[in-house]
Amino acid sequence: MCGIIGYVGAKNATPILFDSLKRLEYRGYDSYGFATLDGEKIWVRKSKGKVSEAGFEKLPGSVGIAHTRWATHGKVTKANAHPHLDCTKRIAVIHNGIIENFEKLKSDLVKKGHVFRSDTDSEIIAHLIEDSIELGLPEAVMRTMKILKGRSAVLVIKNDFDGIVAARNGSPLILGVGRDEYFIASDVPAFLNRTKDVMYLDDGEMVVLERDRKPVFRNIGTGTRIEKRIIKIDWDAKHAEKGNYRHFMIKEIMEQKETIIRAINQNDGEIKKVAAAINKAYGVFLIGCGTAGNVCHTGEYIFSSIAKKHVNHVVASEFPGYRDFLTKKTLLIMVSQSGETADVLEAVRVAREKGAKVISLVNVRGSTLHRMSDFTFHINAGPEKAVASTKATTAQLAILYLLAYACAGRIEEGKRLLLEVASKINDMLNPRYDERIRALACSMQRKKNIYIIGRSLNYPMAMESAIKIMEVSYIHAHGFAGGEMKHGPIALIEKNTPCIVLTGDGSDQDTVNNAMEIKARGGYIIGVGPKKYEVFDFWLKTPDVGLASPMVNIIPVQLLAYHLGDLRGCDIDTPRNLAKSVTVK
Ligand code: G6P
């Protein structure tokens, strides 16, 4: 969840680390810190809150590490912010991940006389390295990594070592190779403005970065050297910038004018091959978390209505409970924007134990999920920086539609539909539409609760709508299957309670009946769909695209969530308590 960055080069490290840290802030943003190396002195600065240059002097040194935190163990305090030092203050460590055996390790270290200055699990890494430092820094890091259980990406500097030792086991680390300089970070956008040449570390690997020397990659378990090649990233650095937009979220919503076309620009042969594998498999699971989990849930309806194929959607954190149903014939379709979500990776590990096959839909090339999968579709949405996922959602849905049509042997029909959807979304995202939604948001901004209903394909989208509204505006929102309202939730409806009703998927009549039941109890009905029904108090028109209705219905809700958040003065791109990439279980 945290963001980490290291620099080894000829320039002063602090401004570079600062810049990168800001680009990584979406991964966690409750506190941050730096350590640089100047001659034989380590300089450390930490602060609570978001990355800010205010009151922060430039530290000396052209080797440094920096961290932006999303707290797991230990409260949000300056002491708990990284880097952490060993007892002698000669070793500085930053860490992304979670150490499962930290209590035992910590009590052993305390018994040996180590003094701890924080409540974090991460600090034990500095003390473990200190314990075996006579082996030399790389060996001591290697030994420490073997002891840690859980997930970790670690960057370490030492007062008399002119570089960084980095290691990963479970959390991402990518090396950026510049001219006479190295960057090592949790994610590519951290250094994309400086280099596009990257080398990926796999789990169980480490790299020693010394000034003026080639990077040396080694296997943590065996110590053997590993040869790696440089891969060129094709993302444009400007795509990871806000441009003229006030927030990444609105920029990314607007980018849906193009991203769907990019998503469906896949190789037909590969789509057909994967579709054949889906048709042949015995037990197909669609798995993801958060918004991607809602995409998977929609996928269950997509495959059922288009391919007449039963696939099971499961949220990744619950998937281990299904392990007894897995065989070599099982096929997993993993959906993850980042490709780094811990529960998603754990689901793949569980499936692999049973010999199941894994297909993935990811946005981040080279991510752990991409590298663990038998086959990957890149959704090609470009960097998604706002914590609330928008453009990745519609791109993921587009590929699921394409696959379902391919399973039914009607790939061309699927492509035609998706091209129509893309062009209609392009028309929808115009200033007038946006203004109308802002006006609606103005009238709703002080509401305490918002409910959303949908049936069939729009039922998971009702839940996705609730996630969007909650995370961006902090208004309590809840999505239900339309038919479930009268089994409990309808008790929550009071005079003028806003209720968003998603229509246009073929189950309108029943959904509209449910809307009437809500209205009869005083609810204020905001209809979303191609047809204006009398029950609607407010209508957000979306184009009629038949079974692809979830793709167009989610657009006005994304805009509504954005405007509600903006009007309420919320931190739209980095909402409180959340992180973009959830790398802990
Ligand atoms: C976090 C993000 C969500 C995202 C979810 C799954 O909760 O805030 O936007 O949907 O993780 O992430 P993934 O990268 O696996 O799609």
- Give, using CA atoms, the residue closest to atom 8 of ligand 1: 580
pLDDT of residue 296: 98
CATH number of this structure's domain 3-233, picked from the four choices 3.40.50.720, 3.90.245.10, 3.60.20.10, 3.50.50.60: 3.60.20.10
pLDDT at 448 over 70: yes
Q: Is 387 in the pocket of ligand 1 (CB under 6 A)?
A: yes
Q: Is 291 in the pocket of ligand 1 (CB under 6 A)?
A: yes
Q: Is 344 in the pocket of ligand 1 (CB under 6 A)?
A: yes
| DSSP-derived 3-state class of residue 31 | strand
- Whether residue 531 contacts residue 553, with contact meaning beta carbons closer than 8 Å, is answered with no
Per-residue pLDDT band at 57 (split at 50, 70, 90) = confident
Question: Token pair 């473990």 is at which residue?
Answer: 128
Q: Is 249 in the pocket of ligand 1 (CB under 6 A)?
A: no
φ/ψ of residue 61, rounded to 5: 115, 145
- 175 CB-side CA count, 13 A: 29
Other CB atoms within 10 Å distance of the CB of residue 150: 17
pLDDT at 549 over 70: yes
Per-residue pLDDT band at 237 (split at 50, 70, 90) = low
Is domain 249-419 in CATH 3.40.50.10490, yes or no?
Answer: yes
- Whether residue 91 contacts residue 82, with contact meaning beta carbons closer than 8 Å, is answered with no
Give exposure, 62-89, as e/b (b: 16+ Cβ within 10 Å): bbbbbbbbbbbbbeeeebbbbbbbbbee
Per-residue pLDDT band at 354 (split at 50, 70, 90) = very high
pLDDT of residue 2: 85
Same fold, 249-419 and 430-570: yes
**pLDDT tens figures, 451-508:** 999 999 999 999 999 999 999 999 999 999 999 998 998 999 999 999 999 999 999 9
pLDDT of residue 55: 60
The DSSP line for 251-318 is HHHHTHHHHHHHHH---HHHHHHHHHHHHH-SSEEEEE-HHHHHHHHHHHHHIIIII----EEEEGGG
| Cα 58 to Cα 37: distance, rounded to the nearest angstrom | 12
Q: Is 390 in the pocket of ligand 1 (CB under 6 A)?
A: no
pLDDT at 54 over 90: no
| Ligand 1 atom at shortest distance from the alpha carbon of 392 | 16
**pLDDT tens figures, 256-311:** 989 999 999 999 999 999 999 999 999 999 999 999 999 999 999 999 999 999 99
pLDDT of residue 367: 87
pLDDT of residue 577: 86
- Whether residue 300 contacts residue 278, with contact meaning beta carbons closer than 8 Å, is answered with no
Output the CA torsion sign for 516, 520, 523, 525. positive
pLDDT of residue 189: 85
| DSSP-derived 3-state class of residue 570 | coil
Query: Best mutation site among 29, 187, 286, 291 for ligand 1, i.e. most ligand atoms within 8 A of its Cβ?
Result: 291
Burial of 328 (0-12, 13-18, 19+ CB in 10 A): exposed
Which residues of 19-160 form beta strands (DSSP E)? 31-38, 41-48, 63-69, 84-85, 91-99, 150-158
Burial of 392 (0-12, 13-18, 19+ CB in 10 A): buried
Q: How far is the CA of 341 from the centre of ligand 1 (A)?
A: 7
Q: How far is the CA of 337 from the centre of ligand 1 (A)?
A: 7
Q: How far is the CA of 33 from the centre of ligand 1 (A)?
A: 25
Domain 430-570 in this protein, CATH class: alpha beta
Domain boundaries, the chain: 3-233, 249-419, 430-570
- Residues 6 or more apart in contact with residue 521 via CB below 8 angstroms: 490, 493, 494
Q: How many helices (H) and strands (E) does the chain have?
A: 16, 25
| Cα 217 to Cα 197: distance, rounded to the nearest angstrom | 16
Q: How far is CA 135 from CA 207, 217, 219, 349, in A?
A: 16, 18, 17, 33
Average pLDDT of the chain?
A: 94
| Cα 102 to Cα 148: distance, rounded to the nearest angstrom | 8
The DSSP line for 71-110 is -SSS-S-TTTSSPEE-TTS-EEEEEEEEETTHHHHHHHHH
Please tell me the pTM assigned to this model: 0.83
Active site residue 87: no
- Residues 6 or more apart in contact with residue 367 via CB below 8 angstroms: 172, 336, 338, 339, 340
